[in-house]
Chains A and B, each alone.
Chain A
Amino acid sequence: MNRQGRPTQPATRAAPEGLSTFSGNKGLQLEEALIFEIGSSQTTGVDLAELPASAKSRIGDLARTEEIGLPGLTEPECMRHYVRLSQKNYAIDAGIYPLGSCTMKHNPRLNEKMARLPGFADIHPMQPQSTVQGALELIDTLAHWLKVITGMPAVAMSPKAGAHGEYCGLMAIRACLEARGDARARVLVPESAHGTNPATAAACGYSVDTIPATEEGRVDLAALKAKLGDDVAAIMLTNPNTCGLFERDIIEISEAVHGVGGLVYCDGANLNAIMGKVRPGDLGIDAMHINLHKTFSTPHGGGGPGAGPVVLSETLAPFAPLPFVVVTDGAYSLAEYAPEAEAQGAKPFGRLTAFHGQMGMFVRALSFMMSHGSDGITQAAEDAVLNANYIMASLKDIMSASFEGPCMHEALFDDRFLKDTGVTTLDMAKAMIDEGMHPMTMYFPLVVHGAMLIEPTESESKQTLDAFISTMRQLVEAAKAGETERFTGAPHFAPMKRLDETAAARKPVLRWTPEENASHSAAAE
């Protein structure tokens, strides 16, 4: 003890078994109730002007008189609520986030700053076009970069995310075929495809015909050819595919599909592996969406927003949806309606969204691309591929790599190495959470058992990769050594223990209700 009574010896004893706190908090991990439990309808965190005494109503007898049920918090309470909630999230800013197929790379804050310039953030989509020339220029500039990177002659900018881009591409294909008087009925989709592909084909009125994969994890060319016929509208191919492999028969596949009068859609979710290395336009592709929220680093925001521009071949370009930017003698304008578009020689298939696309994402993506430049873009793809192969090379002796390498930007393993350990892919993922890493994508693609798809991206340093590899090796060894509890009970150290997803689906509670709350507090008593 010193003179103030402050202990000077370090505390030595470990916490007793089963110790819990009175508050439920655990140091920096703070519990947080729902706004409906802490706020009130009479509280507000904004100071608004008084209503003028003379204010008249013109809403007739449509006034909303009953209570709405929206609690408010004062500004300081609101700040705490969301800061506390944020602390229960993992994020790419905090550590490696190797979700395969999702391309969780560094999100530069320059891009955020640029997107918030009032000249981009505070302009209305229906402003007179003379007052938004810079915005249209930005869209056109981004379009140019996308066309050069993909080697394609045209791009539709309005799709809101990857799946919306797929829809755009398939609608353009269908419109093109209809214009030939040959609508066709079937779309071929490899079994390894993302779920959005078959869902999109169905939304365009096509039936989905699944093509099997080879032992090597690629499209089975012979099976594909056997399925080709004059009722095939298109193939939806992902390249690099969702097993992280380049479809090396791509040119032959394109030729075969074109040979029967069909078109080639490419799911471009994995463009990150090949940008600046090979151009889809040189591979016979007719349409491909680009997830700006993957390849070009617009932040994923816990579930979006994204942006899914679609590059188009000469064949499909005329069918691009409204609206689109037109440049005449250095002046920009928007073709918003069919007659304006037809004057440009276009035959748009329709309109995908109310306005012109995800402008906020466009600014961020262009800022990212300009920063990289042509040299940085190629380097980023090379580093992404290098990192994935490094992981593959460092883990394949103890985990089961599904296919022969080299891989592209992601390394696919399956659960054969866990055979007879009592540990599943899910358990492995949850144990990774305990180690402070975000798990890889699990159980996708569907072509291998217990898939673990690891995509490190180019943002991870060698040091981070080495630490990741070393932890993974220790986990795998522990699983093989029979340390089952480490896995089946995981996560042990996350803000929550494993959540019961089955119960959630069996009796869905999708909103807070006062009654629910009453039963909660009754149960607590």
Chain B
Amino acid sequence: MRYLPHTPEDRAEMLARIGVGEINELFKDVPAGALLKGHLDLPSATSEMSVERQLAAMAAKNTAAGSVPFFIGCGAYRHHVPATVDHLIQRSEFLTAYTPYQPEISQGTLQVLFEFQTQVAALTGMEVANASMYDGSTATAEAVAMAARVTRRQRTVLSGNLHPHYRDVILTNGTYTGESFVKNDPQVAGEEDLASQIDDKTAAVVVQNPDVFGNLRDLTPIAEAAHAKGALLIVVVTETVSLGMVKSPGAMGADIVVAEGQSIGNGLNFGGPYVGLFATRQKYVRQMPGRLCGETTDADGKRGYVLTLSTREQHIRREKATSNICTNSGLCALAFSIHMTLLGEKGLRQLAALNHAGAVTLADTLSEVTGVELMTPCFFNEFTLRLPKDAQSLVEALTEKGILGGVRMSRLFPGEGAMDNLITVAVTETNTAEDFAAYRKALEEVLS
């Protein structure tokens, strides 16, 4: 087997040094009846070429997003990732290092994390950020738990326009923690009245911006209403590129900002691995979940970086830790940070502007089709259309024509009849004028 260096002679010599006659003597603590006699009922070792052939056959059964006009978003977005990013994250020293427990030989990873934390704080308009969470949804659930710790309150108001999967992750994580949740119905076009639901027992309000339909809103009034009652505002961002154009959650008064960072530097990967961004105010830093990298000096007085404030974490605090998270999304955070460095503020703003311009163009084009109505007046790169027929059959018909046209809202909100005719459509810089024309033509054909 190509990955195993020992020869039979090596093994024999090593067993002799250990002082046993055969390998199973080392397994003597395994209950005798449980030790397997033969091999598992699985195929035997195979060559690189054969593995490649088998896996490529599976991959070929999927429609790669880049092979068709592609407009699916709702929490994951197809952006162009510069070749430099994928090259750099495959450097052995980044790819095959563990969590930086020995800072003297991990300054590469640590400096990247320090830069990443600074980038995330700047992007979200907050004071501090951690070294990443698993993804946007788990970061959101952690934010809810953190708000309960900060406020010592147990009631959380959830916007109805939160991505339903995010909502479900929050509800699952809150099942046995004594928290209660105020749920709201989705409002594709209307304003939600969240302010009136905040009372002096409320720990936090959770709002997504842009929301799951694509709506952008000014959250300042909700922030004010929350702060008036001593509650925190948690803002969720699933399309991080929007922050290159839209007023930051921090500037609108957010206390905790959580985001899915996949859009920057990371591919779609069928849902993972992604990278959760988590940012908050300095004063709450000791209540934050996850790893933090901080600046310090070495014995020569040279600036360097270490993991810090670990008394919040499970390996020190055990059952009193702020979270159980250990392994996070280090390499995805690196990809995010490299891509962000390549973009810079200028590039990010341009990227965001292109995304928005494309979405506006497509929204206008598609809403010219008879019977199609744009439901989201104010949006970034994703919008929702109401169709004159059910979106499920439309999505299927478009797929038949080789167009992946968006997410039918009945998939995200099953059983809610009001969603049947809604489709949410995302546009990024990867879409071309030809894609738009193809979409319009196909939509007309299907609806006629």
Contact = CB atoms under 8 A, between A and B. Distances in A.
A51 B341 contact: no
Given A64-B245, A283-B34, A195 B272 contact: no
A99 to B, nearest CB: 6
Interface stretch (A9-17, A65-73, A470-478): A65-73
Contacts of A245: 29
Contact of B63 (A35, A112, A132, A459): A132
A454 to B, nearest CB: 14
For A160, A282, A520, which residue has the most chain B Cβ atoms within 10 angstroms?
A160
Give chain A's interface residue range (CB within 8 Å of chain B): 35 or more
Contact of B315 (A114, A195, A430, A495): A195
A123 B65 contact: yes
Given A36-B115, A305-B330, A354-B169, A134 B314 contact: no
B370 interface: no
A327 interface: no
A87 B108 contact: yes
Interface in A42-92: 42-46, 48-49, 51-52, 55-73, 75, 78-79, 81-83, 85-92
Interface string B389-412: 000000110010000100100010
B314 A199 contact: yes
Interface stretch (B69-77, B152-160, B186-194, B222-230): B69-77
B386 interface: no
Interface string B40-63: 111111101001101111111111
Give chain B's interface residue range (CB within 8 Å of chain A): 35 or more
A444 B315 contact: yes
For A46, A357, A406, A458, which residue has the most chain B Cβ atoms within 10 angstroms?
A46
B436 interface: no
The 9 closest A-B pairs by CB, nearest first: A72-B344, A355-B271, A119-B59, A303-B330, A301-B331, A350-B172, A134-B61, A205-B176, A125-B271
A311 interface: no
Given A64-B247, A354-B136, A510-B308, 17 more contacts: A58-B377, A89-B97, A91-B94, A110-B52, A122-B65, A128-B395, A194-B314, A198-B319, A248-B29, A276-B36, A277-B36, A302-B106, A358-B273, A370-B54, A392-B18, A508-B292, A511-B117
B327 A293 contact: yes
B347 A106 contact: no
B129 to A, nearest CB: 7
Contact of A166 (B62, B324, B341): B324
Contacts of A92: 92, 96-97
B273 A303 contact: no
A505 B103 CA distance: 14
B119 interface: yes
Contacts of B76: 124-126, 355
A406 B325 contact: no
B98 A300 contact: yes
B345 A134 contact: no
Contacts of B299: 489, 497-498, 500
Nearest to A109: B90
B135 A354 contact: yes
Nearest to B65: A122
Contacts of B300: 497
A503 interface: yes
Contacts of A132: 62-63, 270
A348 to B, nearest CB: 9
A279 interface: yes
Nearest to B266: A360
Interface in A482-510: 489, 491, 494-501, 503-505, 508-510
